[in-house]
């Protein structure tokens, strides 16, 4: 059955494009026509030591791609295909793979490791291939180091692919024993040791039981710490990666090792090569993450407690940790500010310092201030930059009381530095630090204002001047202005920015038109800052915003006129269109929200809509998205008048709802449907058949990203609210979908926070749908149509109540639905409601909630229920 | 290839603290856009929830805050006077938008009169609301104005008796607007107002009847529109409440009324059925003519159907009472309709059993009453009830239920033990029913009734003791009664002011516990 595929595989790597293409085609055909033979041929190729390395490597890769894909839908399809193959074929493929682990060719072994792990990922959860782990472990006792290395690598990949639940503890123990033995200093081969260390990284998730046992944990920790001192840099790096993973997975088990770990990490940060030192810093950042989370939960009003106690490791390490981090700040790279993806010791150190400040608050200030004072005026730019960076890093965490006096002193120094420092790095960091000052210490909630009428003008003058500096500095100056403006968002009638408003807008528009605005994302920053300035405009400055409308419209118009663009130019054009649509969105929101400006703004809506439709016609996902958002805003501003645009817009709406691949586009479009419902009310009716069809299609597709489902459910509610009893014809489709989603979400096993959060979003969406439908039918002669669903809805709420894992948002919506049920169906549901646990316990709980919104909904529900029960 | 001999982690690093503003700002802008939608959705839902027809929302104000009641009253009174002033000036205003001005003032008044827990009706009346509202009801006014004015009057009519009476000048116009030429919402609103007035008392009812409210309301009841028919039925049930039976008789004789009643009962709308059932309650209670028509119509089957299938307390109460009235009023019911062996009979029994089991006192009581009327039927009826689940339920209720239910149950149980009387003879006893009840220790419960201050109950108790002493086999009766302290209970009547009771009790004691008593042993 197997075929000779060597030549095709070699051709598939040819430099000649046409040969390569042809070979790829034949492989694809082979796979489609006879999957069994295809897989057998590839595994035969991989196992044959006499074949060229290149063809073997590619055979393994193609094999892997036939078993796994990134996209979830495709992934499960491939898994199903593998499972449905003939058992003998599968056995033969597996045998070849296991045999390859003993190959003298490293690439072949490594590829086989990965493929074995993929198959394990498919089969172990189905309780298939039970002998795999046993046969791998028997390899460990082989004398040949290369077999040992390949086997450990395989175990590592396997742990990455498979979830801990499917491997029983006995096998976990054996895997960990093999891995930890492989890491031991007595292991002669450093390849084996490296493979073992990397395998441990993946196996840590399996070691829950072992980490609860003092002796086993001590042993694992000792071996990991020893590995951080290995001669091999890769082993050291990998061992530190293990420590990072341990710090987040087993935070509460670390107390007795912290002293040693501090010593090890401090040495690595100061002396080791950068990749190792970065991981050593990452260990402390990760501890900060844990403690910030725990302290957050301590401080939260819901539980005021955390499952895991805080051990205050950071607070204890502070006197030694802070100096270590400050040293790293002096190790900047020359061009790091121009490179968006840069990551080096200084950046990691500053980031960690910022986390430490958030963890310990005020305590960090006296430890950092001497460093700042000593270095901020030094002739070496590195010292001045490091001092500024240190200051910027600690602005979130310590109390305003502690920081404000220092900032008062520092502010004018910073402004001078931003204007006069000869070094761009220093100016860049200074502008960023100013932004941080405005972000955390300025705004309506801050008691002692940093910015006064006296210094406001000076600050603005400096920032607007810096916006003419080199792109990276100008970009940071925009950022500082952004946060400065944000602090004035709810200042009311007399904004301190008003006298400078026109100048600010002019300066920002000038930045957007700079030749070099493409560098350092300067243009993007300038537009987003402009948006923020629009957002904080007041009655006084609204006319200036109004003047901005034709300006931005003209810019957008010009992007549409450009012709014959290269693909690079087209991408830039699309990005610019996105920024302009975003800007219009904010302007529409702002001007449409106030009666005083709304009327004047209406003269532009026809032209704006026309521009948006032309942007849609360009068909690019990001533009689509931004224009879509802007249309939501326009719908609110125009209200029922939006009807005249519907005919032209509807095709794009439908297109957005069909966009499975770019699920954010789909989600935003679903949101816009809601906006339209509220704007058009029952005038949306003629479009509802099409919209509902798309939404139902979306829901039944397993390709659609799950995050879009909750908004789709909410959207059902929006539609029902808009069209009332006309929703009747959709009930038979929508209700069963809601019902089955409700059943799934009510009992969802949410063992991790992400799943719980998603589950609650889903519940909220479903409940919003019920609310909308019930309220939509209220006072209609057709309310009886909803009676058959009442029991299920109540049961859903009852189950949510008994599961005890809903968040505040769900609680509020759920108690509201209980009221809606009583409100709409009245005495017909009285007896049903009386029987439900929700009508008593849940209602009581909500009535006594501290959350005002929950209480309000509960008060209302109580009233509605009492009417329904008593008539 | 995936494995480039890199460490699994090193390509990834956390986000740097020093970032550009565009990373967060675009994200925030989108979140704000989503948040706007969310806020608007919530605002809309909130508005919909609070937007009930004002007629239902007299409880609403309890939510509205903590203002001291006196302060609140003062504020509301001031608002009422102000709005009436506005209305006055709107009435005289002739310029552009005059109609709109009037409607706005009326709407403000209506809201004020319906929103709060303590509507400032008195203040509005003192400020002269009624004459203004009557003026607003004049013929040819726009519908919206008529609707708002009628709505205001509805809310005033819902107030204290004196306030309701103040509506008298408005009644002719309200009746007039019930007519076919009015729009449906206006007619419906006028029916509400009149229903409130009619509910006040027989004086106002007679005025309304004299002004010819019955016929147009009956016509409205024939409407296909659920809310209209419901409102009209409700108003009619208030209008025909009596005490004189004329209105009820007149109503049933209006052509189409019976058909409309049947049609509405067939409808699935429980709220409509409820109001219609109340109409039947008064028809069957007051008018023999109506009873004669009703028992021969489909109404009985439909009522029995509702009784068996509905779970609505609101509906079950009038259904039970109607059925009870009909069974009590005309033997045609037990003789011809609820014939033993008919499906309807089984259904009504099941429905009554359901109600006996219910949590609600009123349902239990009404059900026991209906049952007692059926138990007064033929021996077949008695046997059917006796062998059903109703009997153990009633025996339980006889000792545990509140007094009024116990009394109804005692009637029924007593009725089960006697055969229908022929001529003037003393009714003959159904011995095995009696024995079964006695064996289930009913005597003490009946003796308990004998001791009751309520004459009727005491009489019921005495009657049952008579049955026991006369009917228990082997002359066991007197001993059983004595054992439960029955003699003492009866002797309490020796000098009772009620002569019938006195002679009944004394007669029983003399007859069964006279000089010869105890000599046999």
First to last CA, chain A: 77
- Long-range contacts made by residues B499-504, C-beta under 8 angstroms, separation at least 24? B500/B459, B501/B455, B501/B458, B501/B459, B501/B462, B504/B459, B504/B462
User: Which of B36, B227, B312 has the CB atom closest to A828's CB atom?
Assistant: B312
Q: Which of A407-421, B22-36, B196-210 has the highest mean pLDDT?
A: A407-421
DSSP B336: I
Distance of alpha carbon B129 from alpha carbon B112, whole angstroms: 13
- The position carrying tokens 């070094």 is A423
Please list every residue in chain B whose beta carbon sits closer than 8 Å to the beta carbon of residue A202.
8
Q: If you average pLDDT over every residue of chain B, what do you get?
A: 80
The answer for residues whose C-beta is within 8 angstroms of residue B86's C-beta and 6 or more apart is B105, B108
Best probe of the A interface among B37, B362, B363, by most A CBs < 10 A, is B37
Buried b (16+ CB within 10 A) or exposed e, A275-309: bbbbbbbbbbbbbbbbbbbbbebeeeeeeeeeeee
Residue with tokens 């310990």: A360
Mutate to test the interface with B, among A593, A674, A770, A809 (most CBs of B within 10 A): A674
**pLDDT (0 to 100) of residue A841:** 87
Mean per-residue pLDDT for B263-268?
Answer: 83
Across the interface, whether the CB atoms of B36 and A714 are under 8 A apart is answered no
Chain A CB contacts of B115 below 8 Å: none
- pLDDT > 90: percent of chain A: 72
pLDDT of residue A305: 56
CB B238 within 8 A of CB B281: no
pLDDT of residue B70: 66
More confident residue, A50 or A308: A50
Report CB contact under 8 Å: A529, B226: no
Contacts for A207 with CB less than 8 Å, ≥ 6 apart: A172, A176, A220
Which one of A42-56, B229-243, B391-405 scores highest in mean pLDDT?
A42-56
Q: Closest to B26 (Cβ–Cβ): which among A432, A528, A721?
A: A528
Q: Within 10 Å of residue B295's Cβ, how many Cβ atoms?
A: 20
Q: List for chain B the helix, strand, coil content (%; round to 5).
A: 70, 0, 25
Do residues A426 and A381 lie in contact, with contact meaning Cβ atoms separated by under 8 Å?
Answer: yes
- Specify the range with the lowest mean pLDDT, choosing from A38-52, A184-198, A574-588, A850-864: A850-864
A48 vs A16: CA distance, rounded Å? 26
Kindly list the residues from chain B whose CB atom is less than 8 angstroms away from the CB atom of residue A110.
3
What is the C-alpha to C-alpha distance for residues A181 and A197, in angstroms, rounded to an integer?
10
A-B contacts (CB, under 8 Å) = 171
Section A808-821 average pLDDT:
94
Q: What is the mean pLDDT of residues B101-108?
A: 82
HSE of A208, CA atoms in CB hemisphere, 13 A:
8
* Per-residue pLDDT at B71: 67
Q: How far is CA A814 from CA A268, A736, A847, B37, in A?
A: 53, 19, 13, 19
List the single residue in A with minimal CA-CA distance to B32: A586
Tell me the chain A residues in contact with residue B30 when contact means C-beta distances shorter than 8 Å: 629, 668
B-chain residue closest to A392, CA distance: B18
CB contact under 8 A, A781 and B269: yes
Cα separation values, A264 from A226, A267, A537, B7, B61, Å: 10, 5, 54, 20, 69
Q: What is the mean pLDDT of residues A337-351?
A: 87
| Most distant CA pair in chain B, distance | 121
Question: Quick one: tokens of A175?
Answer: 């895997």
A420 CB-contact burial (10 Å; exposed 0-12 / middle 13-18 / buried 19+) = exposed
Half-sphere CA count of A663, side-chain side, radius 13 A: 15
The whole-angstrom distance between A344's CA and the closest CA on chain B is 10
Binned at pLDDT 50, 70 and 90, residue A621 comes out as low
Whether the CB-CB separation of B49 and A819 falls below 8 Å is answered with yes
Q: pLDDT value at position B66? A: 47
Identify all chain A residues contacting B59, using CB atoms and an 8 Å cutoff: 863, 866-867
Cβ pair B21:A866 closer than 8 A: no
pLDDT reported for residue B199: 84
Cβ-defined contact of B18 to A429 (cutoff 8 Å): yes
How far is it, in rounded angstroms, from Cα A694 to Cα A719? Answer: 13
Among A568-572, B367-371, B469-473, the minimum mean pLDDT is found in: B469-473
Strand-pair partners of B429: B418
- For A64-108, the pLDDT digits (tens) are 999 998 877 888 899 999 999 999 999 999 999 999 999 999 999
**Chain B CA closest to residue A770:** B45
Predicted local confidence at residue A623, as pLDDT: 55
Mutate to test the interface with B, among A150, A245, A827 (most CBs of B within 10 A): A827
Q: Is A533 left (phi over 0), alpha (psi -120 to 50) or beta?
A: alpha
B36 vs A589: CB contact, 8 Å cut-off? Answer: yes
Tokens of B490: 């009866």
Burial grade of A490 (CB within 10 A; 0-12, 13-18, 19 or more): exposed
DSSP of A439-494, one letter per residue? Answer: HHH-STT-SS-S--HHHHHHHHHHHHHHTTS-HHHHHHHHHHHHHHHHTTTT--S-
Cβ separation B21–A775 shorter than 8 A: no
Q: Is the pLDDT of residue B311 over 60?
A: yes
pLDDT band of residue B115 (cuts 50, 70, 90) is: low
Report the residue from B37, B59, B314 with minimal CB separation from A671. B37
Tens-place pLDDT, residues A15-34:
888 999 999 999 999 999 99
Which of B4, B5, B21 to probe the A interface (max A CBs under 10 A)? Answer: B21
Q: Cα-atom radius of gyration of chain A, to the nearest Å? A: 31
pLDDT of residue B328: 82
Could you give the C-alpha distances from A330 to A343, B114, B238, in angstroms and in order?
A: 14, 73, 91
Inter-chain CB proximity A525 and B9 less than 8 Å: no
Q: Is the confidence at residue A43, as pLDDT, over 90?
A: yes
Q: Is residue B165 within 8 Å of residue B130, measured between CB atoms?
A: no
Q: Which residues of B touch A393 (CB under 8 A)?
A: 17
Buried b (16+ CB within 10 A) or exposed e, A792-824: bbbbbbbbbbeeeebeebbbbbbbbbbbbbbbb
| Cβ <8 Å between B41 and A714 | yes
User: Phi/psi zone of residue B97: left (φ > 0), alpha (ψ -120 to 50 degrees), beta?
Assistant: left
3 state DSSP class of A67: coil
Nearest to A674 among B8, B37, B226 (CB): B37
**CA pair distance A688, A720, nearest whole angstrom:** 10
Residue numbers in B near A871 (CB within 8 A): 313-314
Most confident of the following: A250-264, A481-495, B377-391: A250-264
Q: CA dist B303 to B249, B292, B359, Å? A: 20, 16, 21
- Residue-by-residue DSSP string for A215-264: HHHHHHHHHHHHHTT-SSHHHHHHHHHHHHHHHHHSGGG-GGGHHHHHHH
What residues does B418 pair with on adjacent strands? B429
Q: Contacts of residue B21 in chain A, CB cutoff 8 Å?
A: 435, 475-476, 478-479, 482-483, 525, 528-529
Cross-chain residue pair B45–A585, CB shorter than 8 Å: no
B8 contacts in chain A (CB < 8 Å) = 160, 198, 201-202, 241
pLDDT for A767-812, tens place per residue? 999 999 999 998 788 888 999 999 999 999 999 998 888 889 999 9
* pLDDT (average), residues B281-291: 86
Residues of chain B in contact with residue A350, where contact means CB-CB under 8 angstroms, are 16-18
> Which of the residues B9, B55, B60 would you substitute to probe the A interface, choosing the one with the greatest number of A C-beta atoms within 10 Å?
B9
Greater pLDDT, A621 or A131: A131
Which residues in chain A are contacts of B12 at CB distance < 8 A? none
The full DSSP string for A812-859 is HHHHHHHHHHHHHHGGGTHHHHHHSSIIIIIHHHHHT-S-HHHHHHHH
Mark yes or no for CB contact B18/A586 under 8 Å. Answer: no
What is the pLDDT confidence band of residue A350, given thresholds at 50, 70 and 90? very high
Distance from CA of B189 to the nearest CA of A (A): 15
Question: Which residues in A lie closer than 8 A to residue B268 (C-beta atoms)?
Answer: 784
Report the candidate in A583, A648, A588, A641 with the shortest Cα–Cα distance to residue A613. A648
| Confidence band, pLDDT 50/70/90 cuts, at residue B65 | very low
In B, which residues are within 8 Å of A353 by CB distance? Answer: 17
Answer yes or no: do B3 and A114 touch at CB < 8 A.
yes
Average pLDDT over residues A309-327: 94
Chain B residues touching residue A863 (CB < 8 angstroms): 59-60, 62-63
First to last CA, chain B: 114
Q: Is A865 in contact with A857 (CB distance < 8 Å)?
A: no
- Write the residue in A57, A521, A820 that is nearest to B1 by C-beta: A57
Residue of B nearest to A277 (CA): B10
Phi, psi of A130 (to 5 degrees): -65, -25
CA dist., res. B326 & res. A743, Å (int): 48
For A677-727, the DSSP string reads HHHHGGGGHHHHHHHHHHHHHHHH-SSS-GGGHHHHHHHHHHHHHHHGGGG
Q: State how far residue A455 is from chain B, nearest Cα, in angstroms.
A: 23
Nearest CA-CA partner of A367 in A320, A297, A310, A409: A320
pLDDT at A871 (0 to 100): 56
Q: Give the nearest chain A residue to B228 (CA atoms).
A: A781
């Amino acid at each position: 059955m197997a075929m000779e595929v060597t030549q095709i595989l070699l051709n598939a790597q040819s430099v000649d494009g046409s040969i390569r293409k042809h070979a790829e085609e034949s492989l694809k055909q082979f796979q489609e026509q006879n999957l069994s033979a295809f897989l057998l041929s590839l595994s035969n190729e991989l196992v044959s030591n006499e074949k060229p390395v290149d063809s073997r490597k590619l055979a393994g890769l193609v094999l892997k791609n036939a078993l796994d894909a990134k996209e979830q839908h495709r992934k499960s399809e491939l898994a199903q295909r593998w499972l449905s193959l003939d058992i003998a074929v599968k056995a033969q493929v597996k045998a070849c793979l296991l045999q390859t682990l003993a190959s003298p060719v490293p690439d072949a072994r490594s590829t086989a490791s990965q493929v074995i792990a993929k198959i394990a990922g498919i089969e172990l959860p189905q309780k298939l291939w039970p002998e795999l782990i046993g046969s791998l472990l028997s390899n460990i006792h082989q004398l040949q180091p290369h077999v040992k290395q390949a086997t450990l690598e395989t175990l590592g990949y396997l742990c990455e692919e498979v979830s801990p639940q499917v491997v029983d503890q006995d096998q976990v123990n054996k895997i960990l024993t093999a891995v930890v033995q492989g890491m031991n200093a007595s292991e002669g081969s450093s390849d084996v040791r490296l493979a073992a260390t990397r395998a441990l990284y993946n196996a840590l998730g399996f070691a829950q039981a072992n980490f609860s046992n003092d002796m086993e944990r001590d042993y694992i920790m000792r071996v990991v710490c020893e590995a951080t001192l290995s001669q091999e840099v890769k082993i050291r790096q990998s061992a530190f990666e293990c420590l990072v993973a341990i710090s987040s997975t087993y935070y509460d088990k670390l107390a007795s090792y912290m002293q040693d770990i501090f010593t090890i990490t401090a040495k690595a940060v100061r002396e080791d090569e950068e990749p190792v030192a970065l991981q050593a810093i990452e260990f402390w950042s990760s501890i900060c993450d844990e403690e910030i989370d725990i302290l957050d939960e301590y401080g939260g009003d819901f539980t005021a407690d955390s499952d895991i106690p805080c051990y205050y490791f950071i607070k204890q390490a502070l006197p030694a940790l802070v100096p270590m981090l400050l040293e790293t700040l002096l190790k900047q790279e020359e061009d790091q500010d121009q490179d968006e993806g840069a990551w080096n010791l200084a950046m990691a150190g500053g980031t960690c310092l910022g986390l430490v400040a958030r963890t310990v608050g005020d305590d960090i200030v006296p430890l950092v201030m001497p460093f700042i004072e000593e270095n901020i005026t030094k002739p070496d730019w590195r010292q001045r930059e490091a001092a500024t960076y240190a200051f910027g890093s600690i602005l979130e965490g310590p109390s305003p009381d502690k920081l404000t006096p220092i900032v008062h002193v520092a502010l004018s120094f910073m402004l001078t530095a931003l204007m006069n420092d000869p070094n761009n790095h220093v100016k860049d960091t200074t502008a960023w630090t100013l932004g941080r000052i405005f972000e955390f210490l300025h705004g309506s909630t801050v008691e002692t204002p940093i910015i006064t009428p006296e210094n406001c003008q000076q600050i603005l003058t400096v920032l607007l001047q810096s916006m003419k500096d080199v792109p990276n500095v100008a970009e940071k100056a925009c950022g500082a202005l952004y946060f400065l403006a944000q602090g004035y968002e709810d200042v009311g009638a007399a904004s301190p920015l008003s006298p400078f408003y026109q100048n600010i807008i002019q300066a920002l528009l000038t930045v957007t038109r700079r030749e070099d605005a493409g560098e350092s994302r300067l243009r993007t920053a300038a537009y987003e800052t402009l948006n923020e300035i629009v957002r904080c405009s007041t009655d006084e400055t609204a006319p200036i915003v109004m003047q901005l409308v034709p300006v931005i419209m003209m810019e957008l118009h010009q992007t549409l006129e450009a012709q014959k663009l290269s693909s690079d130019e087209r991408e830039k054009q699309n990005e610019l269109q996105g920024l302009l649509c975003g800007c219009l969105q904010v302007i529409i929101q702002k001007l449409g929200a106030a009666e005083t400006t709304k009327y004047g703004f209406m003269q532009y809506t026809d032209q704006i809509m026309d521009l948006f439709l032309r942007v849609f016609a360009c068909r690019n996902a990001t533009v689509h998205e931004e224009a879509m958002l802007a249309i939501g805003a326009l719908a609110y501003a125009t209200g029922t008048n939006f009807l005249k645009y519907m005919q032209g817009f509807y095709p794009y709406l439908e297109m957005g709802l069909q966009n499975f691949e770019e699920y954010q586009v789909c989600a935003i479009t679903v949101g816009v449907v809601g906006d339209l419902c509220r704007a058009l009310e029952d005038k949306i009716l003629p479009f509802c058949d099409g919209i509902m069809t798309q939404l139902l299609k979306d829901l039944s597709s397993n390709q659609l990203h799950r995050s879009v489902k909750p908004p789709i459910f909410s959207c059902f509610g929006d539609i029902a609210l808009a069209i009332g009893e006309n929703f009747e014809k959709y009930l038979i489709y929508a209700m069963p979908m809601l019902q089955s989603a409700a059943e799934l979400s009510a009992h969802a096993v949410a063992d991790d926070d992400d799943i719980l959060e998603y589950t609650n979003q889903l519940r909220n969406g479903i409940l919003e749908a019920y609310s909308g439908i019930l309220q939509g039918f209220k006072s209609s002669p057709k309310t009886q149509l909803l009676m058959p669903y009442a029991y299920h809805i109540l049961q859903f709420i009852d189950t949510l109540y008994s599961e005890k894992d809903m968040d505040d948002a769900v609680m509020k919506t759920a108690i509201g639905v209980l009221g809606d049920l009583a409100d709409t169906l009245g005495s017909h549901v009285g007896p049903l409601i009386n029987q439900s646990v929700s009508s008593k316990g849940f209602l009581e709980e909500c009535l006594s909630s501290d959350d005002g919104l929950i209480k309000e909904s509960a008060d209302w529900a109580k009233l509605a229920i009492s009417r329904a029960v008593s008539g | 290839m995936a494995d480039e001999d890199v460490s699994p982690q090193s390509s990834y690093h956390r986000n740097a603290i020093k970032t550009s503003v565009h990373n967060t700002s675009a994200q925030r802008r989108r979140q704000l856009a989503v948040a706007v939608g969310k806020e608007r959705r919530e605002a809309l839902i909130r508005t919909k929830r609070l937007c009930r027809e004002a007629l239902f929302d007299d409880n609403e104000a309890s939510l509205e805050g903590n203002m001291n009641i006196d302060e609140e009253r003062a504020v509301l009174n001031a608002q009422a006077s102000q709005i009436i002033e506005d209305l006055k000036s709107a009435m005289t205003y002739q310029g552009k938008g005059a109609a709109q001005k009037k409607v706005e003032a009326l709407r403000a008044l209506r809201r004020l009169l319906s929103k709060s827990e303590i509507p400032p009706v008195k203040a509005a009346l003192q400020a002269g609301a009624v004459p203004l509202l009557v003026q607003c009801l004049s013929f040819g006014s726009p519908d919206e104005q008529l609707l708002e004015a009628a709505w205001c009057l509805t809310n005033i009519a819902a107030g204290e008796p004196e306030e309701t009476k103040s509506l008298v000048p408005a009644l002719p116009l309200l009746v007039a607007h019930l007519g076919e030429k009015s729009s449906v919402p206006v007619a419906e609103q006028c029916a509400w107002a009149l229903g409130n007035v009619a509910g006040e008392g027989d004086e106002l009812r007679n005025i309304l009847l004299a002004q010819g409210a019955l016929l147009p309301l009956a016509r409205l009841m024939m409407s296909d529109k659920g809310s209209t028919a419901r409102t009209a039925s409700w108003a009619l049930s208030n209008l025909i409440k009596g005490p004189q039976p004329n209105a009820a008789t007149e109503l049933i004789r209006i052509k189409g009324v019976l058909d409309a009643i049947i049609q509405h009962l067939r409808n699935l709308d429980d709220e409509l059925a409820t109001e219609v059932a109340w109409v039947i309650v008064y028809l069957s209670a007051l008018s023999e003519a109506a009873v004669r028509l009703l028992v021969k119509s489909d109404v009985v089957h439909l009522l029995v159907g509702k009784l068996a299938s509905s779970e609505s307390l609101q509906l079950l109460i009038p259904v039970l009472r109607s059925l009870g009235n009909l069974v009590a009023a005309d033997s045609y019911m037990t003789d011809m309709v609820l014939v033993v062996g008919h499906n309807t009979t089984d259904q009504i029994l099941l429905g009554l059993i359901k109600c006996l089991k219910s949590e609600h006192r009123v349902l239990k009581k009404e059900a026991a009453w209906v049952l007692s009327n059926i138990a007064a039927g033929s021996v077949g009826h008695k046997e059917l009830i006796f062998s059903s689940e109703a009997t153990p339920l009633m025996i339980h209720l006889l000792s545990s239920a509140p007094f009024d239910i116990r009394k109804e149950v005692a009637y029924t149980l007593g009725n089960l033990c006697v055969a229908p009387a022929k001529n003037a003879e003393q009714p003959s006893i159904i011995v095995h029913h009696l024995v079964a009840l006695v064996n289930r220790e009913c005597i003490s419960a009946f003796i308990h009734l004998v001791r009751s201050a309520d004459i009727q109950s005491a009489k019921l108790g005495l009657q049952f003791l008579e049955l026991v002493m006369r009917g228990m086999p082997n002359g066991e009766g007197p001993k059983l009664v004595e054992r439960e302290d029955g003699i003492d209970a009866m002797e309490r009547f020796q000098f009772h002011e009620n002569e019938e009771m006195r002679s009944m009790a004394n007669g029983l004691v003399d007859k069964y516990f006279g000089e010869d008593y105890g000599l046999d042993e």
